[in-house]
Each structure stands twice: as C-alpha cells, then as structure tokens.
A = this chain, B = another copy of it.
Amino acid sequence: MGEARTKAALARAAAPLLSGAPRARREDAIRRAAALIRARSADILAANERDLERARAAGMSAPLQDRLLLDEARVCAIAASLDDIARQDDPLGRVVGGSTLESGLRIEKVTVPLGVVAIIYEARPNVTADAFALCVRSGNACVLKGGSAANDSCLAIVDACRAALAEAGIPADALQYVEDDAAHSQTAELLEATGLIDVLIPRGGASLIRACVEGAKVPVIETGTGNCHVYVHASADFERARAIVMNAKTQRVGVCNAAESLLVDRAVAPAFLPGMLSELAAAGVLLHCDEEALELARDLPAGSAVPATEEDWGTEYLALEMSVKVVEGVEEAVAHVNRYGTGHSEAIVADSYDACEAFLAGVDAAVVYANASTRFTDGGVFGLGAEIGISTQKLHARGPMGAAELTTTKYVVRGDGQVR
C-alpha cells in the first residue's frame, strides 16, 4: 500500500468521527484553524519563501509565481475566508423532502456528508485552507494533494489545520495531505482508491482534469475548463456589448470564466466589429478571426488579427487571445456554443426579449447570462462562500460548488412494524 492509499485509509477511518461531530465542534475546528494560521503566519511565510526560492531557481513564470506568493495580507485573507465558512449555514441535517406513506411509514430525506473527499490541485496555497474548511463544514474527511511547487506552504497550512482539528476534539487524521511526486504515482493511487474515497475533485489545467476523469475508478467531479463565449445579437446596445466583451476578455485572463470567443450577428457586424476589434487589439488581445471578421479587422495594426483555424473554436486561451466569428443569428450562435463550448459560462448581449430567452434556454451550460459578463461565475459571487471548484459536468453538481455540494442525502424511515 503506497503513501496516498495509506493516507486515504486513515481519512476513511476518521470520517465517521467527523461526520458525527456536532455542528458546534466542526465550526470550532474551522475557527481554530483560522486563529492558528494567523498565529503561525511567520512560519507559513517562511515556508512560502522556501517554495518561492525554488520557483525562481526553476525559472517559474511571473503569473505562476504570483499565484504561489503569500504575504501578510494574503495569509490574513486565508484566515478570514475560514472564519466566513465557519459562519455559514450548516449544510448537514437539512430535511429536503419527506412524506408519510399509506402504510404509516414516515420517510424523510436528510442531507449527510459524502464521507471522504479527495482534491487534487495546483500550486495554490490558499486552496489548501479553503478545501479543508469546506470539507469540515460539510462533515467530510479530506485528502488533499497540491502541486509540488507549493509543497512547503501547503504543509505549513496543513499542520495548522490538523492541530485545529485536534484542539476541537476531532481526529487530526480527518485531514490528510499527500505530497506530489515527479511520477504522479500518488495521483494514480488516489484515482484507484475505490472504497476509500467517495469523490475526487481535480482543480487545475485541462490535462490534469482529463487524466482524472478518464483514469479514475472513484467518482470524479469535472471542474473548471471554460471555453466561454459572448454573443452579440443584432438587437444589442453596442455600448453595453463593448463593456461586457472587454470585461469578460480582459479583466482577468487566466481564469476559467474569462471569455475566449466572440460571436456577432452578421446584420450588425460591419457597424459593431471594427470598433470592438480595435478596442480589443488596443488592449493587446490577439484576434483569431473567421473570414468575415478578418475583413472587418482590416484597419487594425498589422499582426492584431489572424485567420482562425478550426482548432481555435475549441481553444481555452487563458491569455490575451480571442476567437471571433460572424453568425447568422441566435440559432447559429446557440449551435456553435453547444458544439465548441465546455459547458461553463455563456453570455448573450441583446435587447430582444425573444433572442435572450432562446439563448438562455438553448445553451447547455452550467451558467447562462443575458446582458452580463461571464466573469460573475464564482462561488463567492453566487453567495456560496468559498468554492471547491466550478463543476462543468451535469451529475451531482453543476456550476460553482460550495459546502452544500459536498453532501449527499439519506432516506430515514421510521415505522412500527410495517412489512410488505
């Protein structure tokens, strides 16, 4: 039995003691973790500095270094997020249905923890604390595996969280941290830990997620890949459309809810696109245009617009790049989005009621928007507190996932001797 499997077994053994812990004790554990993270911030920052030194030596890119970096303010934000989660409504013990049958049997459907949740993520120290807190909030033991670049930072945070569990009277083994290895053999072990792990949630790049979904014998929730579109209908207010496109594409480019593709109705393309494309190009966006859009981009600085390939329609750039296509109307737009989208977040800009409703009903995605930026898809924005990920699959949970999405239900049936 390898390390990951051993740790999953420890989490499994601790799970009933966490799932059975009363609400107050689970909240206490989360609050104590926040307090310990604040108290140990010097140690956590020192650990993070060791990670950063290795990262700089290895030539890690500036955006990835920024994602890895912790400072006083970020450590405080991590602790504040835990306090927020401790204040959330309890997702456990909610009676979500029930009835009394003709036989007199009384049935209730009650929310209960999943059991053991495994989360595989990248070099983001804050995910460690959030994932721990959401799992404890929902009564789940957890097995975390972060990216190796954040190893020291994650271990320092895990130490604080495990100490907090013990202080609150919950076995520290309810939180396990598996260190990354070059061969990814630990990931492989987690994917096969049937009976020990109730759900595995990969958070990260498309290749990690694909590998988990295809290789796992344990249930997986697919998250995050976002090839998101903004569709500008002929009836759109141009000013509104421009603001939404600029925000969705450029406000933050490396995130899954950023727009990657712009669709524009043929009827308004000549009036709308030249200005829109020029604004995008001025913001440094490389435009992958279909033939008609390329023609309307002719006055742009050289190199701002290039012909789109078939591959572009399915590409999540996560960069200052965008594909641009002219469409006949809402029907073609919906068909294009459903063909090439990843089921994440899709937006229409239109004044036409019928066009909006047709798009909202026709597009098959976790979140569909009329006249708003795709950037709003986020557990915090949607009021879930922190999020464990954004599900782009349809089973169990779809869209931003908070603590409630880490629960299942159980039918509790009370009788007085009924038989069939």
Contacts and interface: CB of A to CB of B under 8 A. Distances in A.
Contact of A373 (B251, B369, B408, B419): B419
Contacts of A393: 219
A338 interface: yes
A158 B135 CA distance: 45
A395 to B, nearest CB: 4
A298 B15 CA distance: 40
Contact size range, A: 35 or more
Contacts of A411: 366-368, 377, 382, 398-399
A413 B367 contact: yes
A237 B217 CA distance: 44
Contact of A365 (B244, B396, B410): B410
A368 B106 CA distance: 12
A286 interface: no
A186 interface: no
Interface in A384-398: 393-396, 398
Interface string A39-61: 00000000000000000000000
Interface in A77-122: 99, 101, 103, 105, 107, 109, 112, 114-115
Contact of A417 (B243, B251, B395, B413): B243
Interface string A162-202: 00000000000000000000000000000000100011000
A379 B382 CA distance: 34
A213 interface: yes
Nearest to A370: B414
Contacts of A237: 417
B410 A395 contact: no
A410 to B, nearest CB: 6
A248 B415 CA distance: 14
7 contacts: A109-B399, A237-B417, A360-B414, A372-B417, A395-B395, A395-B408, A399-B409
